[in-house]
Amino acid sequence: MKKNIILVLLVVLVVILSLVAGGLGVYVFLDKSKKVEPSPSPSPVVKETEETSLANPASVYCGEQGGTLRMETTAEGTRGICVLADGTECEEWDYFRGNCPSETENEIETGGESVSEESDEEVFKRLMAERHSKPIGDVQLTIGTNTGSHANGGVKFAGEISGAWWLAAKSGGEWVIVDDGNGTVSCASIAPYNFPTSMVPECWDEASMTLITR
């Protein structure tokens, strides 16, 4: 009788131990099968600096003036060249600081002041206005021939019906009005300036009172 009870207890103990061992194995299996998800890394924060947030003022100024920027690589590094609408090129920072000659304005420096360079036609108009004490706005002038050293054409003042011819030549590198009028030019007037005969084929000699063919 006692042997049967001991046998039963042993069987029950084996069953309990089996159940405990099986449960422990299932727990270990399930624990190992769990997938550990890595924690997401925080997105890098880019600190905006003054250099990245602000545009190059020299490049901006170039564009505002109608220019285009071209980058050049030299031995010293990379630099920007501002190319203006008229083809003028200048280093962008020199242009920004006003250190480049302004060919678009066609100016020359005289006594520290900038003045517009006159064209030959404007010079002739001014000289004719001064010669006849007329407002320059009243001078209506045309150019017939201009060789660079000698010139001729026609002129009329506001309010006048008929016009006149004019002759100009360069003396000391500057234009001067040699003569103007309606008749034949005086030989004495043109003598110092060596006008080409194609421009002045004849002149009036006051000494002999004759028309001279040159």
Q: Find the mean pLDDT for residues 111-126.
A: 77
Q: Which residues pair with 180 in a beta bridge?
A: 166
Residues 135 and 70 placed together within one structural domain of the fold? no
Select from 115, 146, 163 the last residue of a domain.
115
pLDDT of the residue at 50: 44
Same domain, 141 and 162: yes
Where among 115, 140, 168 does a domain terminate? 115
Residue 48 domain-assigned? no
- Residue 62 in this model has a pLDDT that exceeds 80: yes
The answer on 207 and 122 residing in a single domain is yes
Q: Are 128 and 140 contained in the same domain?
A: yes
- Is 163 within a domain? yes
pLDDT of residue 110: 46
The domain of 72 spans: 54-115
* Number of structural domains found in the chain: 2
pLDDT of residue 31: 53
Residue 102 within a domain? yes
**Last residue of a domain, which of 69, 96, 115?**
115
18-41, pLDDT tens digit by residue? 665 655 554 544 455 555 555 555
**From 55-64, 129-138, 160-169, 182-191, the region with the lowest mean pLDDT:** 55-64
| pLDDT tens readout for residues 64-79 | 888 899 998 888 888 8
Kindly report the three-state secondary structure assignment for every residue of the chain: CHHHHHHHHHHHHHHHHHHHHHHHHHHHHHHHHCCCCCCCCCCCCCCCCHHHHCCCHHHHHHHHCCCEEEEEEECCEEEEEEECCCCCEEEHHHHHHCCCCCCCCCEEEECCEEEECCCHHHHHHHHHHHHCCCCHHHEEEEEEEECCCEEEEEEEECCCCCCEEEEEEEECCEEEEEEEECCCCEHHHHHHHCCCCCCCCEEEECCCCEEEEC
**Residue 204: predicted pLDDT:** 96
Judge if 101 and 179 occupy the same domain.
no
Residue 189 in domain: yes
CATH number of the domain within which 169 lies: 3.10.450
Q: C-alpha angle with apex 119: 193 to 99, nearest 5 degrees?
A: 125
- Residue 169, pLDDT > 60, answer yes
Q: Are residues 62 and 82 in the same domain?
A: yes
Residues 6+ apart with CB under 8 A from 4: none
At 14 the pLDDT is: 66
Same structural domain, 86 and 158: no
Confidence of residue 178 (pLDDT cuts 50, 70, 90): very high
Regarding whether 94 and 179 lie in a shared domain, the answer is no
Q: How many Cβ atoms are within 10 Å of 128's Cβ, its own excluded? A: 23
pLDDT for 108 beyond 70: no
pLDDT of residue 118: 85
In a domain, 29, yes or no: no
Q: Give the global pTM.
A: 0.48
- 162 in a domain, yes or no? yes
CA atoms within 13 A on the CB side of 186: 9
Indicate whether 2 belongs to any domain: no
Lowest mean pLDDT among 53-67, 133-147, 183-197: 53-67
Comparing 91-105, 115-129, 139-153, 172-186, the range with the smallest average pLDDT is 91-105
Do 136 and 208 belong to one domain?
Answer: yes
Based on the fold, state whether residues 110 and 122 are members of the same structural domain.
no
Same domain, 95 and 153: no
Instruction: Give domain status of residue 46, yes or no.
Output: no
The answer on pLDDT for 164 being more than 60 is yes
Least confident of 81-85, 136-140, 182-186, 210-214: 81-85
Q: What is the pLDDT of residue 45?
A: 45
143, 90: one domain: no
How much of the chain exceeds pLDDT 70, in percent?
68
